[in-house]
Chains A and B, each alone.
Chain A
Amino acid sequence: MTNPQAPPPIAVRPETPASLRQCLESLRPAGRELAAMPLSDLLTPLEQFGRLWQPGSDDFRRACSLLEGTFSRRAVRDSLTMLSLSLRREVLLGELTRELGRADLMDRWQADEGETGFSRGFPLGVAAHVLAGNVFLGGAVAIAQSLLTRNAVLVKLSRADSGFTSLFADRLKNLDPDGPLARSIAVRAWKSEQDELNQVLREEADAVVVWGGQAAIEAYPADRCRGRVIHYGPRLGIGLVCEGVDLDEALPALAWDVALWEQRACSSPRLLLVEDADGSGSLPGRVAAELSRALSDVREHLPRRTLSLDEKSEVYSLREWAAWGNRARVFATAGSMDHTVLLSTAGPQEIPADYRTVLVEPLRSLSEVRQSLAPYRDALQTAVLAAPPGRWPAAVAALVESGMTRVVAAGSAASRFLGLPHEGEFALRRMVELIGIDLGSGCLTCPGHQVSPAVIEQLKRSS
């Protein structure tokens, strides 16, 4: 249904290889200007920009009208609020310090203790982000990551983009229409099948960051791209419930994680491992039943989006298959498709996607976590952990051993954008080239070599 409040869809002009090449060329000098911009000059407009998304603002309302429907009002409102807060100067400084080691990594050469070794970060140049259409903040995060690392950025929209990425980019450009920030951002769209356009990115971009499904990842293999390739491919969200945890607290929080992004985010739990130490199935059964209740309750805060007839058919299908294949017990609200909890009765199996569907799989102990997750190892990223405090270290160790790179407390699967490693590394660090200068010291330097104080002075000044 059309939302009368919604702005018209943002027109995207047809792209050709030549126009895309020209776009990337125009971003290069802007990127150089951005690289030369002092950090404080960057943080000030970003903070100002963040205020645009505060609740009650025009842009807040406009974004809400674009996004509500696919996601709940609450998810949209809270995400925009979080976005606004995340762009505050002190928050960004903190995140930069955590991710890059020091906030001024890209602003000055830092000397080591002996003042003979120096290091500094440099941008990669023009970073192209191939976006996924799952979570509307993906484009905003991509742009923010690029600018914070002083890379000019081209984002390729997903065909499922809500329009928010373009709105976000337009507003950012409007802050300083003639400044380097505005010139450093480009938003483009083309069909993924138009490989001649993909080829331009492969040939021209200094970095290609691919967010999304397997087809997108395969379109930009490292050996066919000139620049650095960063893949954030398809992921399977996991949950782990340990014996002894307070289920009354944990399950509503887990339900929140399932519902917040309608399982479109890679962190949304879809497979829930539940300890079943005595093999009775008691805890898994209780978790399945109570998670189903919690998912019903969470609708009060995060109402389910409207399902099309095709989607309802798919939900019906997955429930029927589970029941007829004797593969799982179905827990759901009668007459409703707001969620489905499947309690596995036949070991590992296909894991449904979307529609707030969770597969509960029993395991005897934490030592089985690795084996249970082995089939999915290449797709692991975030685990939502519900465990009593004393069992956290062992549970985290089991999850890390299984291949998880992020462990979050129940209810926190999507609580922050920056400041923690993403898939084994700080995302900002991947967007930076670290350069070292060695002026020489120690017994392996050429006999008679002297460190030049003038060079040290020049390096310090150049910052």
Chain B
Amino acid sequence: MSADPIDTLLDEPVFADPWPEAVFIAAVDACLDVLLARFPRYADFVRDRTGGISPRPIETMERIAALPPLFLPVLKGFRFELPGDVQTAVELTSSGTTGAASVVPLDEPSMRRRVDAMAAVYGGLGIGADDIQALAFLMDPATTRMAGSVVIDAVLRAMPQVHSIQYLARQRNGKPDFSLPEAIEAVTEAASQGPVLLVGYPALIAAAVHGMRETGAGRLPLPQGSFVLTGGGWKSSLPGVQLDQGEFRRLVADFFEIGPRAVRDMFGLSECPAVFVQCDRGHYHAPVFVHAQAIDPESGEEEEPGKTGLLQLTTPLTTSYPLLKILTTDKVVINRGCDCGLATPYIVPRGRASVARFETCAMKIGQAVG
């Protein structure tokens, strides 16, 4: 057991029941302590929004609730100045699918914790229990800083059961480059060698399955212990590839004969070190490292279970950038009581907040800029 409260939290069972609230609170306090010292602008923000009352020590969940969240879109346009004592090990970027990409600088401890947290989630859900080879339908991390690629790569490399990783896409001259024939060949070959983990963008995996079917292959059974793990990109499909998560799951499970419970999706953000991986019932459970809430942005209060709010994530794992508590523009419902047996709450994504405007004679935002 580590004495560091943050690492102590990481030592907890990833879907612990009951939730280790005291350990979580101690980790939040420790994380906040570092962030307030390192980031004066963040400290000013916290002080302004809490009416000048010192937020520390954090000893209760109520004190955590009183901490103001950073709004995720702000992080895409505002960079906190890094203090000299933060040695950046890696800079992660978001995909930028909703506008500007955000940049998340991680020092070695923060990156390590992020990788440990994700590996713990995988392990907790039984992903990669066997010796397995990974085929990543992701940008080769040698060609990108996108969080999805960089962190998953680190996690896979940290898992001893993963004996090889092959990337099937890469960034080339600033554009994604994906070779369908190469992907088909890689999947076909891997299937003959043992359990396979197909991980990455669902659009690329779906394209590979469609490609294999077009070549006449009705099915390609994968060995027992194989998994398909997707992340992101449900709306940004390849030309001609329509993606619905349910249909995708049926398609892939049938084609690879692995059963729908071996097809999981991940929900995550580059700004949040905790990832939500679907359980075998398809629910995105929160691991112990994160306090996920659906928030009414008007009142700042948590919505009742079953009611849609904006996803707020409190995750005390990053000390190299003030990502302790963030409010996202993802609309979610937080539910409890999953049949899979995990006691932790799970999020039900409801899309991203956006405003559909009708034509009016009142000029819109940004049309007039001085």
Tell me if chain B binds chain A: yes
Verify B297–A316 contact, CB threshold 8 A.
yes
Residues of the B chain whose Cβ atoms lie less than 8 Å from the Cβ of A375? 368-370
A36 at the interface (CB under 8 A from B): no
CB nearest neighbor in B for A307: B298
What residues on A are CB-neighbors of B300 within 8 Å? 335
Contacts of B71 in A (CB 8 A): 316-317, 320
* List of B residues within 8 angstroms of A266 by Cβ: 361-363
Contact B299 A311 (CB under 8 A): no
- 0 or 1 for each of A336-353: is its CB under 8 Å from B? (1 = yes): 110000000001111111
- Across the interface, do B368 and A352 meet the contact criterion of CB distance under 8 Å? no
- Say whether A385 faces chain B, with CB atoms less than 8 Å apart: no
Chain B residues closer than 8 Å to A216, beta-carbon distance: 359
Q: A133-B360, A265-B362 are in contact. Are A234 and B367 (CB under 8 A)?
A: yes
With known contacts A316-B297, A375-B370, A310–B354 Cβ distance under 8 A: yes
CB–CB B368/A379 < 8 A: yes
Whether the pair A309, B370 counts as a contact (CB closer than 8 A) is no
Given contacts A134-B361, A236-B363, contact A337 B78 (CB under 8 A): no
Q: Which residues of B contact A313 (CB under 8 A)?
A: 297, 310, 329, 353, 355
Q: Is B331 an interface residue (CB 8 A)?
A: yes
Indicate whether A4 reaches chain B with its CB closer than 8 angstroms: no
Segment touching B, from A20-28, A207-215, A295-303: A207-215
Residues of B within 8 A of A214 (CB): 367
Those of A248-288 within 8 Å (CB) of chain B: 263-266, 268, 270
A156 shortest CB reach to chain B, Å = 12
Chain A: minimal CB distance from B281 (Å): 26
Known: A336-B298, A350-B368. A314 touches B355 (CB 8 A): yes
Nearest-CB distance from B186 to chain A (Å)? 41
Contact mask B21-36 → A, CB, 8 Å, 1/0? 0000000000000000
Residues of B within 8 A of A314 (CB): 353, 355
User: Separation in Å of the A405 CB from the closest CB of chain B?
Assistant: 14
User: Which of A160, A234, A309, A349 is in CB contact (< 8 Å) with B362?
Assistant: A234
Chain A interface residue count: which class?
A: 35 or more
In the bound complex, residues from chain A placing their C-beta under 8 Å from that of B355 are 310-311, 313-314
Residues of A within 8 A of B327 (CB): 316
Which A175-230 residues have C-beta < 8 A from chain B? 192, 211-216
> Could you tell me if B359 and A215 are in contact, using CB atoms closer than 8 angstroms?
yes
A160 to B297 CA separation, bound complex (whole angstroms) = 26
B366 CB to closest chain A CB (Å) equals 5
Whether B362 contacts A335 by the Cβ 8 Å rule is no
Q: Can you list, as one digit per residue, whether each of A359-384 has a CB less than 8 Å from chain B (1) or not (0)?
A: 00000000000000001100100000
The smallest C-beta distance from A231 to any residue of chain B, in angstroms, reads 10
Chain A proximity of B102: nearest CB distance (Å): 13
Interface of B is mostly: loop
The interface centre, meaning the residue of B298, B299, B354, B362 with most chain A CB atoms within 10 A of its CB, is B362
Q: A324-B78, A325-B78, A375-B369 are in contact. Are A159 and B358 (CB under 8 A)?
A: yes
Residues A133 and B358 in contact in the complex (CB < 8 Å), given A321-B74, A351-B368, A375-B369 = yes
> Does A232 belong to the interface (CB within 8 Å)?
yes
Interface 0/1 of B332-370, CB less than 8 Å to A: 000000000000000000000111111111111111111
Q: Which of A159, A336, A337, A353 contacts B365 (CB 8 A)?
A: A353
Tell me the nearest residue of chain B to A311, going by C-beta.
B355
CB distance from A305 to the nearest CB of B (A): 13
A132 pairs with B369, CB closer than 8 A: no
Given contacts A234-B363, A265-B362, contact A309 B310 (CB under 8 A): yes
**Is B131 interfacial (CB-CB < 8 Å)?**
no
Q: Are A348 and B369 in contact (CB under 8 A)?
A: yes
Does A391 sit at the interface, judged by CB under 8 A? no
Whether B74 pairs with A132 at a CB distance below 8 angstroms is no
Q: Are A213 and B364 in contact (CB under 8 A)?
A: yes
B370 & A347 in contact (Cβ 8 Å cutoff): yes
Q: How far is the CA of A316 from the CA of B312 in the complex (A)?
A: 14
A268 to B356, CA, bound (A): 20
Q: Which of A263, A268, A309 has the most CB of B within 10 A?
A: A309
A324: chain B residues within 8 A (beta carbon):
74, 77-78
**In the bound complex, CA of A234 to CA of B357 (Å):** 13
Q: Distance in Å from the Cβ of A404 to the closest Cβ of chain B?
A: 14
The listed residue with most B CB atoms (<10 A of its CB), out of A211, A310, A348, A352, is: A310
| Chain B 165-208 near chain A by CB (<8 Å), digits 1 or 0 | 00000000000000000000000000000000000000000000
* B296 interface residue (CB < 8 Å to A): yes
Contact call A263/B361, Cβ cutoff below 8 A: no
Question: Is A312 part of the contact surface with B, judged by Cβ < 8 Å?
Answer: yes
Complex contact B359–A212 (CB within 8 A) = yes
Contact with B298, one of A159, A192, A270, A337 (Cβ below 8 angstroms)? A337
The answer on a CB contact under 8 Å between A376 and B368 is: yes
A309 to B358, CA, bound (A): 17
Provide the residues of chain A in CB contact with B360, threshold 8 Å: 132-134, 160, 212-213, 234, 264
Cα-based distance from A235 to B356 in the complex (angstroms): 19
Is the beta-carbon distance between A235 and B361 smaller than 8 angstroms? yes
Complexed CA–CA distance, A150 and B331 (Å): 52
Given contacts A310-B354, A312-B298, A313-B310, contact A234 B361 (CB under 8 A): yes
- CB of A268 within 8 A of CB of B370, answer no
Q: Mark A434-451, 1 if CB is under 8 A from B, else 0.
A: 000000000000000000
| Contact (Cβ within 8 A) B361 A212 | yes
Partner of A309, one of B77, B331, B356: B331
Q: Given the complex, which residues of A lie within 8 Å of B363, measured CB to CB?
A: 234-236, 266, 270, 351, 353, 376, 379
Contact with A along B111-129 (1 / 0, CB 8 A): 0000000000000000000
CB-based contact B298/A234 at 8 Å: no
Contact with B along A317-332 (1 / 0, CB 8 A): 1101100110000000
Tell whether A233 is near chain B: CB-to-CB under 8 Å. Answer: yes
Say yes or no: is A110 at the interface (Cβ < 8 Å to chain B).
no
Q: How many whole Å from B311's CB to the nearest CB in chain A?
A: 11
Q: Does A95 contact B (CB under 8 A)?
A: no
Bound-state Cα–Cα, A312 to B297, Å: 6
Q: A310-B353, A310-B354 are in contact. Are A233 and B297 (CB under 8 A)?
A: no
Shortest distance in angstroms between A183's beta carbon and chain B's nearest beta carbon? 29
Known: A307-B298, A316-B71. 19 other contacts (CB 8 A): A133-B360, A160-B359, A212-B360, A232-B361, A233-B361, A234-B361, A236-B362, A264-B362, A265-B361, A266-B362, A270-B363, A310-B354, A315-B297, A316-B297, A337-B298, A347-B370, A351-B363, A376-B368, A379-B367
30 A–B contacts, CB within 8 A, in A order: A133-B359, A133-B360, A158-B358, A160-B360, A212-B360, A212-B361, A213-B364, A214-B367, A215-B359, A236-B368, A263-B362, A266-B361, A309-B308, A309-B309, A312-B296, A312-B297, A313-B310, A313-B353, A316-B71, A317-B71, A321-B73, A324-B74, A324-B78, A325-B78, A336-B298, A337-B297, A350-B369, A375-B368, A375-B370, A379-B367
